[in-house]
């Protein structure tokens, strides 16, 4: 039986823990104690309660159990590095790490710094936490797994098989970098605007927001073209426009994650989503006024929240 540590008992962490627990040895690690009996509500609204093996970081460091086959980091992007560092005393530097973050901040940094294999997962599964003891699996999706330097294909295949067996459909891929950027492009066009204007995704189709989205897509398309990242279908600006508007259509009723963070008074993942685009725009001397303005607006919003 394979063993998995999952660091970050939030929405994705608990979804993983619930799914893997019946087929693998799972330890769910958090900063605080977690209720032992946890409920997963399925996408069709069926609750399923089970005991999850939850421990605090403190307990883990004290007990120093045998290191696992995989360490999943399921914190938000800005906390991933700190979460990994907090395990330094209990895992060997060759332990495989799996990063589940959106954006492109934690992935290159940890890939460069961690001596062992670093897999990246990008997922369209949707989940949210509903209190201390419940997570809602809001929508089924698909997970793609690979590593940025394509050196761990067998490991990615092994993990994808285990996740699929656990009910989370997953595919190992050789182009995870491209897929992470494609998701980042959608997140950059949707999340900052809906968080700034406190609207649901579908309202982006209306004026004046539609024009703002178009302006962001134009900047993003220029930057990703220079980075050699193509949209999943179509080409250039048109391909990116098709992708973004399709996601807006499919998620019209959603409150996007960044909007939810603002509503809950939490910091957003702006540094992981807008940051890499702005950095690349500056490096290539490309326009990024819209992205910078959104980043600034979010920084101001976050400052007022704290
Ligand atoms: N939810 C979703 O549907 C999807 C999420 N993602 C991505 O997955 C990542 C996780 O998102 P999500 O699960 O929604 O986020 P959540 O905020 O629900 O969960 C993050 C968890 O990480 C914990 N945490 C933070 N810092 C540490 C630390 N240093 N050590 C241990 N635990 C820590 C938090 O606990 P604490 O209470 O201690 O702060 C919290 O339980 C994000 O990058 C997100 O963009 C991607 C696709 C879909
Ligand atoms: C695709 C989108 C924008 C859907 O809401 C999302 O991934 C998010 O909320 O972060």
Kindly indicate whether the domain formed by 177-305 is annotated with CATH number 1.10.1040.10: yes
Expressed in angstroms and rounded, the spacing between residue 76 Cα and the centre of ligand 1 is 4
> If you average pLDDT over residues 111-137, what whole number do you get?
96
Please give the number of the atom of ligand 1 that sits closest to the Cα of 29.
Answer: 31
Please work out whether the CB of residue 188 comes within 6 Å of at least one atom of ligand 2: no
Read off the pLDDT of residues 188-212 as tens digits, 9 standing for 90 and up. Answer: 999 999 999 999 999 999 999 999 9
DSSP state of 266: P
CA distance 139 to 241: 24
Fold: same for 3-174 and 177-305:
no
Ligand 2 atom at minimum distance from 255 CA: 5
CB 79 near ligand 1, within 6 Å: yes
Token digits for 121?
Answer: 């997962």
CATH fold, domain 3-174, is Rossmann fold (3.40.50)
Q: Which of 38, 76, 90 has the most ligand 1 atoms within 8 A of CB, as the residue to mutate?
A: 76
| CA of 192 relative to ligand 2 center, distance in Å | 10
Q: Whose CA is nearest to atom 9 of ligand 2?
A: 256
- Provide the whole-model pTM: 0.97
pLDDT-derived band at 234, boundaries 50, 70, 90:
confident
Q: What is the ipTM of this complex?
A: 0.98
Q: Where are the domains of the chain?
A: 3-174, 177-305
Q: Output the DSSP codes for 75-136.
A: S-GGGHHHHHHTTTTTS-TTS-EEE--SSSSHHHHHHHH-SS-EEEEEE--EEEE-STTEEE
């Amino acid at each position: 039986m394979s063993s998995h540590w999952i660091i970050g008992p939030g929405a994705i962490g608990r979804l993983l823990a619930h799914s893997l627990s019946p087929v693998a040895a799972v330890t769910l690690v958090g900063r605080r104690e977690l209720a032992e009996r946890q409920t997963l509500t399925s996408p069709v609204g069926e609750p399923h309660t089970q005991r999850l093996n939850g421990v605090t970081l403190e307990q883990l460091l004290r007990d120093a159990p045998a290191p696992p086959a995989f360490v999943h980091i399921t914190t938000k992007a800005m906390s991933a590095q700190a979460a990994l560092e907090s395990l330094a005393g209990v895992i060997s530097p060759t332990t495989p790490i799996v990063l589940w973050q959106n954006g492109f901040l934690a992935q290159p940094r940890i890939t460069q710094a961690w001596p062992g294999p670093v897999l990246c997962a990008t997922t369209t599964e949707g989940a949210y936490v509903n209190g201390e003891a419940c997570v809602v699996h809001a929508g089924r999706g698909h997970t793609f797994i690979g590593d940025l330097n394509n050196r761990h294909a067998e490991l990615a295949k092994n993990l994808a098989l285990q996740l699929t067996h656990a009910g989370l459909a997953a595919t190992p891929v050789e182009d995870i970098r491209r897929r992470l950027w494609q998701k980042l492009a959608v997140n950059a066009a949707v999340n900052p605007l809906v968080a700034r204007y406190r609207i649901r995704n579908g309202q982006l189709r209306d004026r004046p927001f539609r024009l703002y989205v178009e302006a962001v897509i134009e900047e993003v398309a220029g930057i990703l073209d220079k980075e050699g990242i193509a949209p999943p279908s179509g080409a250039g600006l048109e391909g990116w426009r098709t992708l973004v508007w399709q996601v807006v259509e499919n998620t019209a009723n959603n409150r996007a994650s960044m909007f939810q963070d603002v509503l809950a008074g939490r910091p957003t993942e702006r540094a992981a989503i807008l940051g890499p685009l702005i950095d690349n725009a500056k490096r290539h001397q490309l326009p990024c006024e819209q992205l910078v303005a959104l980043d600034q607006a979010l920084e101001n919003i976050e400052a007022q929240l704290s």
